[in-house]
Every structure is written in structure tokens, then in C-alpha cells.
Amino acid sequence: MSSIRPSVPASTDRDSDRGTAASRPDTQTGAWDDPTAPSLEASRDEAASWRRRPLYGPFYGVNEPPFDLTPNPRFLFLSHRQREALSNLRYALATSKGFTLILGDAGTGKTTLVRTALGELGDTPSRYVLVSNPSLGRAEFYEFLAREFGLSDEAAHSKTRFLSELQQDVEARFSAGGLTGLIIDEAQSMPYELLEEVRLLGNIETTTTKLLNIVLCGQPELADRLKDPSLRQLKQRIALRCELRPLTLDETAAYVSGRLRIAGGSPSEIFTRDAVVAIHTASRGIPRTINVLCDNTLIGGFAAEVKPIPVEIVEDVCRDFDLDLQAADTVLPGGPSVPHAVEPGALPPSSTLPARIDRPTPGGITPAPKRRFSFFS
């Protein structure tokens, strides 16, 4: 089979006159080497920046995608429920509490909270292992834990060796002032045998202290599973429990505006009031769905060259994603319910929102916003 090589143009007198500044082809790869071009490192940084910049970025004035689906702690939004859950999680990771349960519907931000709390541990002697896909067999589960905890190859294939080495590891870390923990995301999908294995791992303790913290994060079905009589022993061991709820209308608007500001945009110049109301209605206040709708709405608005984005573009996106805009009524704080088929200007103009996302502090206390602004014009 013959290989195809890039053609190399012949040099010209003009190239010769340019001397070393002329672009020269690499005879091995056919690539062009321009000495006047930026360095490789600078080019990579610039390329990475362009890859991060959304298609609609220049049009709407944002420097990065504000509504990515990745659990980025930079974009963490703390509603009352999220703040409570984060405080519980911080407490669970900083003390020997044994089992902690965090519940929330799909897309409510459980994984983002977990990664935020883990990121705050920094250079502490504590060590936590995150299992993001617990649909494993028993042998695979122990093999994964052995490798993540840095145990021997023998421990990865022998439960007896695993338990012995893990006991020694957590005791040594505890003596050095650190904690050891296991965080299981999507725990509602764990087979029964693994839930029982996790319960037994919780027995690693002294007469006075739990040596292995275990955090179970899952959807509401996990709570239903724990009601099974066969799992009553696991349920009894849960020392901390919290649940994430969908966002209210005001929280949705704060969530949207906060992400836009972090990305460098001006919220009131990007979305109209009615567009945000429609996004909240169709998403039911689920952050992940809000992200999907906002991102696709920005793409649609960019294609139509319109800003701020009107409700009609949101409605088109909702039809594409088969999302209902005629759901249950939206309840505004301190006021009666407002039908989702809302007329322009129907919501009180005094509705105001935080100027930024509340940022958690290392001490676990989130300062209240110092100023408020009207999101909608």
C-alpha cells in the first residue's frame, strides 16, 4: 500500500531573500516551520483557550462556556439546600462520623458538591477515594479500592489481604493526624452485595473512633432501597443525612446570572426575564437541565443574531428537547403562584437577585451577598 505524503512546494527567490525568516517544510512530516510563529507552549495555551471559548462567546461577551455539564467547582451555586449539604459533607470529611448519606434527583449537583469538598482538603494528610461508577462486581470493587488506596497487588486479588492492609493503612494515617474515607457516587445503582460489603467496611474502627468515613451519594431511589429490611443495619449506621432539592425561580435566575458573570458576561444583556422564567419552568429547577437549555438557547440566539434572548427562542429549544412549558405553577417567594403561561411583565419588577454566586469559604461559612441587583430589564 502506498503512503500519501504532503506535497512540498519548491522554494522561490522570494523565499531565499527572506533568509531564516522564511517558512521551511519539514522533509519528514511535511509540516511548515515558521521561526516568527509563537512558541509551542504559547500556541498550546492559545489553542486551549480557543477550544474553551464557545461559538457564541464573542457575540455574548463570554470568555468560556458558562453552562458546561462538567462538575466544575468554580461554578458552584449554593442555594439554601446546597449550602446545608456542603456543610454536612465538609463535616463528614473532617471528622470521624462513619456513614453519611447525600440524596438528590439526577442533575441537582451532588457530584459538584463532592468535588468541591474534596478540593478543599488540599495538602492535608487525609485520603479519600471517589468511586464514580459503582456498578461493579465484588472482586472488581476490591481491586479498584486496593489500587486507589495504594495497597499491594496481592491486596487487589485477595479480600483477606485487602482488609489487613487497609486496617493498617487507616490506623497509620489516623495516628499521623489524617482521616481515610470512601465516597461512592451514583450509589443507587450499587448491587445489594456491594452495599453489604460497604456496610462491613464501616466496621473498621477502634473502641472510640470510626476509622473509615463512607459517603453515599445517590438519587432518591437509594433512600427507597435503604427501607428494605435486609438493609436495615446499613440504614441504622447513617450518622448524617441531607437532600438536595430543585431550585426555585429566584434561585434559577441567580444560578444563571452567576454562571454568566463568572464566564465574563453581563446577564441582563444576554437573557430576558421571560426567557429565564421559561427556562426554569421547562427545567423544573434541575441545574443540569438548566445548563442544557441555556447552552442551546445561546446557540440559537447566536444563530438568530439576537440579544437579549427572548422567550421564543427558549420555547423552540424546549420543543427540540421535548420539554413541557405547561407544568405545575411557579411559586415566587413571599407571593402567590404564577402560571407558567406568564405574560410579559407579569412578575413583580422588584424581584432582585444576588450579583454573584455565593462562594464557599474554607471555614465553611458562605458570606451573604453585599449588594443586590435587578437581573431582568
Identify the residue with better confidence: 355 or 295: 295
The pLDDT value recorded for residue 289 is: 97
276 plus 340 within the same structural domain: yes
Reported in sequence order, the residue ranges of the chain that DSSP labels E, i.e. its strands, are: 24-25, 32-33, 99-104, 127-131, 180-184, 212-218, 238-244, 330-331, 337-338, 353-354, 372-373
The pLDDT tens digits for 85-120 are 999 999 999 999 899 999 999 999 999 999 999 999
Report how far residue 235's alpha carbon sits from residue 237's, in angstroms, rounded to the nearest whole number. Answer: 5
369: pLDDT strictly greater than 50: no
The enclosing domain of 220 has a CATH number of 3.40.50.300
295 plus 353 within the same structural domain: yes
Q: Cell triple for residue 53?
A: 471559548
The pLDDT value recorded for residue 307 is: 92
Q: Measure the CA dihedral 81/86/92/95, to 10°.
A: -130
Q: In Å, how far from its chain's centre is CA 233?
A: 32
154 plus 269 within the same structural domain: no
Mean pLDDT for the stretch of residues 346-359: 38
Domain that holds residue 299: 247-358
* List of residues 6+ apart from 172 with CB closer than 8 A: none
Reported in sequence order, the residue ranges of 46-126 that DSSP labels E, i.e. its strands, are: 99-104
208 plus 337 within the same structural domain: no
Identify the residue with better confidence: 206 or 345: 206
268 plus 284 within the same structural domain: yes
Residue 39 placed within a domain = no
373: pLDDT strictly greater than 80: no
Which amino acid is located at 187 in the chain? A
Torsion over CA: 135, 141, 145, 148 (sign): negative
Q: What is the DSSP string of 126-194?
A: -EEEEES-----HHHHHHHHHHHTT--HHHHH-HHHHHHHHHHHHHHHHHTT--EEEEESSGGG--HHH
Report how far residue 91's alpha carbon sits from residue 68's, in angstroms, rounded to the nearest whole number. Answer: 28
Q: In Å, how far from its chain's centre is CA 200?
A: 30
User: What domain count does the chain have?
Assistant: 2
Residue 178 placed within a domain = yes
Q: Which residues of 247-276 are buried (b: 16+ CB within 10 A; e: fewer)?
A: bbbbbbbbbbbbbbbbbebebbebbbbbbb
- Among 191, 223, 244, identify where a domain stops: 244
Q: Are strands 99-104 and 238-244 parallel, antiparallel or unpaired?
A: parallel
172: pLDDT strictly greater than 70: yes
141: pLDDT strictly greater than 60: yes
138 plus 198 within the same structural domain: yes
Residue 264 placed within a domain = yes
Residue 274 placed within a domain = yes
- Among 244, 276, 297, identify where a domain stops: 244
Residue 26 placed within a domain = no
* List of residues 6+ apart from 361 with CB closer than 8 A: 367
Report how far residue 295's alpha carbon sits from residue 270's, in angstroms, rounded to the nearest whole number. Answer: 12
237 plus 344 within the same structural domain: no
Residue 147 placed within a domain = yes
The pLDDT tens digits for 219-252 are 999 999 999 999 999 999 999 999 999 999 999 9
225 plus 257 within the same structural domain: no
Indicate the pLDDT class of residue 356, thresholds 50, 70 and 90.
very low
Q: Cell triple for residue 116?
A: 468541591
Residue 14 placed within a domain = no
Mean pLDDT for the stretch of residues 152-162: 96
Indicate the pLDDT class of residue 53, thresholds 50, 70 and 90.
confident
Cα→Cα distances 221→28, 218, 226, 283, 295, Å: 59, 8, 9, 20, 29
193 plus 301 within the same structural domain: no
Indicate the pLDDT class of residue 44, thresholds 50, 70 and 90.
low
Instruction: Return the SS3 of 351.
Output: coil
365: pLDDT strictly greater than 60: no
The enclosing domain of 264 has a CATH number of 1.10.8.60
Residue 339 placed within a domain = yes
- If phi > 0 it is left, if psi is from -120 to 50 it is alpha, else beta; for residue 107 that is left
Q: Which residue in 166, 168, 174, 223 sits closest to 200, CA to CA? A: 166
204 plus 297 within the same structural domain: no
Q: Cell triple for residue 82?
A: 446546597
The pLDDT value recorded for residue 327 is: 54
Indicate the pLDDT class of residue 361, thresholds 50, 70 and 90.
very low
- Among 244, 277, 306, identify where a domain stops: 244
350: pLDDT strictly greater than 70: no
240 plus 345 within the same structural domain: no
230 plus 269 within the same structural domain: no
